[in-house]
Chain A
Amino acid sequence: MAGVTHRLEAHVLGEGDWIGATEICRLCWLDLGAVMELAELGVVAPRATPPGEWQIPATALPRLRVIGRLMRDLGVNVSGAALALELLEARRQLERRIRALELLVSDH
């Protein structure tokens, strides 16, 4: 059964937003231990507060969510997921570069 149409305002989590530890865990399918380990690995740079009260810039969320999904879905640990993320980002960078070079030499 269809309901009525509501108009919703979207809030984009972006620059200037800081996300607390509990919400990071919720949004990224991670536990606090994993977030702390990611901070040790330098993947995220939380504000210097006690770990339980950490805040992380919302701009870090896309990377953390990939890590959370890789851990949840593929059973890899924190270090493995962080390494996979870096390799995926490097691959994307190379693909962009290759595409740009292909455009330079193509007929179109």
Chain B
Amino acid sequence: MEFRDYYKVLGVERAASADRIKAAYRRLARKYHPDVSKEPNAEARFKEMQEAYEVLKDPEKRAAYDELGANWKAGEQFRPPPDWGSGFEFSGGAGRAGGAGHAGGARRGAGRSGWSGAGAEDGGFAEQDFSEFFSSLFGGGSPFARGGGGAARDHHARVGLELEETYRGTTRTLELRRPEVKPDGSVELRTHTVRVTIPPGVTEGQLIRLAGQGAPAAGRGQAGDLYLEVHVQPHRLFALEGRDVTLTFPVAPWEAALGASVTVPTLGGSVEMHIPAGAQSGQRLRLRGRGLPGQPPGDQYVQLKVVLPPASSPQAKALYEEMRGKLDFDPRANLSR
């Protein structure tokens, strides 16, 4: 695994005070928070920062991290020392291990990511809180994970869906990593592959609950749940708002002027639509129930865009000249009032 330079991630010196570290984290968090930021890769950067802050804000973890020495470079191949964690005393207060999920409790500042996992190339995701580097040093099985309370924990992850997938429903294969205690008492991370059926009609920000797929409680208690937060990828043609979709639809001037029957793409396939005579560019027509499924289903709005044919041939020029000569039309009539 690769070494992570947490000081570099937060842009602070190794000797930085706790206040300085907190200020650096707050400043960067404001810039890269996925709910707010427009920065590219904001989510990945934010997760890195959360991980760095999780270690550097905690005097015990920070001291242990510093023990690794100052000579490591970010990205360098790393393996935890065999005696890792020995020689430290742990306060082990409830919540110190950063559990995100004590039922009903306030978890502000608990620190663990609400953004675990991310959309991967195939649209699935790998459910994990922090990097392998973090897990090997401070995760389940390490001395730093003691005192987490042993309660079941919910896990939260984002799942990116294409608009067509939200319309038709889809399946996702998820790889869930969770620590399991072996008979000899040691802990190993086991990967479970699960296939999830996502029904049609999920919308932006909506939550999907997978019961019992969160972190198990200590002993034989019931496991927490896994929550997937839906994020719909921008679409080439359709803009999504709630369950409604909007399509910008080019029409010829004569179709707008005279009315026309046209074939319009929708998420469920092409449909025939009538453009009323005298339609204008920017006018919105509604195809009821052609948005995302639901109770009630969304609508599709068709925003007309009148496109002028180029006057690039003698025939086209002649037609424009004929219109100029025969039509009593002043597009700037409103300006002279």
* Contacts between the two chains (Cβ within 8 Å), count: 143
Q: Looking across the interface, which residue of chain A has its beta carbon closest to that of B242?
A: A59
* Count class of interface residues, chain B: 35 or more
- Which of A34, A66, A73, A96 has the most B CB atoms < 10 Å from its CB? A73
For residue A7, which residues in chain B have a CB less than 8 angstroms away from its CB?
A: 194-195, 197
For residue A2, which residues in chain B have a CB less than 8 angstroms away from its CB?
A: 191, 193
Taking the complex as formed, is B229 at the interface, i.e. its CB lies under 8 A from any CB of chain A? yes
- B213 CB to closest chain A CB, in angstroms? 7
Question: In the complex, are the beta carbons of B33 and A1 less than 8 A apart?
Answer: no
Bound: A95/B194 CA distance, A: 37
Interface window among B118-126, B201-209, B319-327, B329-337: B201-209
Question: In the complex, are the beta carbons of A103 and B190 less than 8 A apart?
Answer: no
Bound: A14/B204 CA distance, A: 11
Contact check: which of A27, A34, A99 meets B227 at CB < 8 Å? A27
Contact check: which of B103, B207, B246, B294 meets A13 at CB < 8 Å? B207
Question: In the complex, are the beta carbons of B108 and A69 less than 8 A apart?
Answer: no
For residue A75, which residues in chain B have a CB less than 8 angstroms away from its CB?
A: 26
Taking the complex as formed, is A42 at the interface, i.e. its CB lies under 8 A from any CB of chain B? no
Q: Looking across the interface, which residue of chain B has its beta carbon closest to that of A20?
A: B104
Question: In the complex, are the beta carbons of B228 and A69 less than 8 A apart?
Answer: no
**Chain A 48-92 interface residues, beta-carbon cutoff 8 Å to B:** 58, 61-63, 65-66, 68-75, 84, 88
Bound: A15/B199 CA distance, A: 14
Contact check: which of B26, B208, B295 meets A74 at CB < 8 Å? B26
Q: Looking across the interface, which residue of chain B has its beta carbon closest to that of A5?
A: B193
Contact check: which of B107, B193, B196, B295 meets A3 at CB < 8 Å? B193
* Count class of interface residues, chain A: 35 or more
For residue B197, which residues in chain A have a CB less than 8 angstroms away from its CB?
A: 7-10
Question: In the complex, are the beta carbons of B194 and A29 less than 8 A apart?
Answer: no
**Chain A 1-31 interface residues, beta-carbon cutoff 8 Å to B:** 1-16, 22, 25-27, 29-31
Question: In the complex, are the beta carbons of A10 and B198 less than 8 A apart?
Answer: yes
Question: In the complex, are the beta carbons of A29 and B36 less than 8 A apart?
Answer: no
Task: Give the interface SS of chain A, mostly helix, strand, loop or mixed.
Answer: helix
- A65 CB to closest chain B CB, in angstroms? 7
For residue A8, which residues in chain B have a CB less than 8 angstroms away from its CB?
A: 194-197, 210, 213
Question: In the complex, are the beta carbons of A88 and B305 less than 8 A apart?
Answer: no
Contact check: which of A16, A25, A65 meets B104 at CB < 8 Å? A25
Contact check: which of B101, B213, B229 meets A65 at CB < 8 Å? B229
- A83 CB to closest chain B CB, in angstroms? 12
Q: In the complex where A10-B198, A72-B107, A104-B281 touch, is A3 in contact with B33 (Cβ < 8 A)? A: no
Q: A9-B197, A25-B104 are in contact. List 10 more A-B contacts (CB 8 A).
A: A7-B197, A8-B196, A8-B210, A22-B104, A29-B107, A29-B114, A58-B207, A70-B36, A96-B241, A100-B303
**6 A–B contacts, CB within 8 A, in A order:** A12-B207, A13-B208, A22-B103, A61-B206, A62-B207, A100-B303
